[in-house]
Structure 1
Amino acid sequence: MNIHPLGLGVIDLEKLGYKIRLLRHKRALTQQEIAYRTGISTPHISSIERGERQPSLEYAIRIAEALGVPVGYFADNAEVSTLPDAESYQGIVDMPGYLQSFITRESAQPYLAMAHRVSRLDETDYNMICAMIEIMAQRKRLKNFTDIEI
């Protein structure tokens, strides 16, 4: 098995290529379009998709950006079935740079997963979660206030 570390854990090249190809098809993009968007040659894209070549971190990031996903979606623990549809990420290119940067960071994944879970709650549960967060924030502010020595 060919493996390649992308700073996200170890990546199986065949799975990586499969995920890229699957997502490219979901986006109705050709290898030539991905090559144009990334500046990577079409044969190189093809060999990555077949699991024959390992992309550098820079190339993986370029491919992820061209497909509109965080590079973390190429990690082994990201299931293919959880890859987003085009509609899920169509607004990412319109986001401010700091949000794009946050979304693509591996460290942001737990927060994004939690935000996704919260977004699926009904209104009552959502309001309860918001109230709980506000209570915890108030407790923290109060604790910080009482820790001040006079």
Structure 2
Amino acid sequence: MDERFGDRIRRLRLARRWSQQELSLRSGISTPHISSIERGKRYPSLDYALRMAAALGVPLTALCDESVALKPPKMRSSPDELPVYLQNFILNEAATPYLQAAHKISTLPEPDREFLTMLIDLVAQRRHNSQPTPIG
């Protein structure tokens, strides 16, 4: 792959009027990593390339082959609708493992996704309830 891969990512992202943050949210890849790919400073792994293609709604060949037309499909939702603390989280490089896990969960069949979501909620609730109450 050469720098054209990053250019195609950027063109598709901008055609959708998405920020790098939005592509980050949709792909589970950190915003700084996406920025580096678009600038040609980093090359994505096959997994990352597939995730960006899926997030952008195009086949991987559309990112790698210049003969494939770049025609963005209609997409919905934006991270701009998220609370600011979540937007800041997405921009942070340390968020990568969490974004990757969320992406993996989102691709599971619905019953598995619902089960894992319930399990995460229960663990979070248990953790929250076991923390000492601040005195004040």
The alignment's TM-score, normalised by the length of structure 1, stands at: 0.47
Residues 74-107 of structure 1, C-alpha deviations (whole Å, 9 max, x = no match): 22x3247x211334xx6xxxxxxxxxxxxxxxxx
The alignment's TM-score, normalised by the length of structure 2, stands at: 0.51
| Match among 53, 56, 60 for residue 71 of structure 1 | 60
Q: Distance in 1 between matches of 2:58 and 2:72?
A: 10
- 1:86 partner SS: coil
Superposed, 1:48-63 pairs within 5 Å as 48-63=37-52
Q: 1:50 Cα shift? A: 0.3
Unaligned 5+ segments in structure 1 are 1-10, 91-150
Q: Distance in 1 between matches of 2:73 and 2:28?
A: 21
**2:28 matched to 1:39?**
yes
Task: Identify the structure with bigger relative contact order (alpha carbons < 8 Å, sequence gap 6+).
Answer: 2
Residues 31-82 of structure 1, C-alpha deviations (whole Å, 9 max, x = no match): 001111111110000000001001000000000011000011122x3247x2
Q: Report % sequence identity.
A: 53
Q: Distance in 1 between matches of 2:67 and 2:5?
A: 11
Check whether the contact 2:56–2:72 (CA below 8 A) recurs between aligned residues: no
Unaligned 5+ segments in structure 2 are 76-136
| Match among 15, 24, 29 for residue 13 of structure 2 | 24
Q: Distance in 2 between matches of 1:70 and 1:33?
A: 19
Q: Distance in 2 between matches of 1:60 and 1:38?
A: 10
The number of equivalent residue pairs is 76
Check whether the contact 2:57–2:72 (CA below 8 A) recurs between aligned residues: no
Question: Post-superposition, which runs of at least 4 consecutive aligned residues in structure 1 deviate over 3 A?
Answer: none
Structure 2 match to 1:105: none
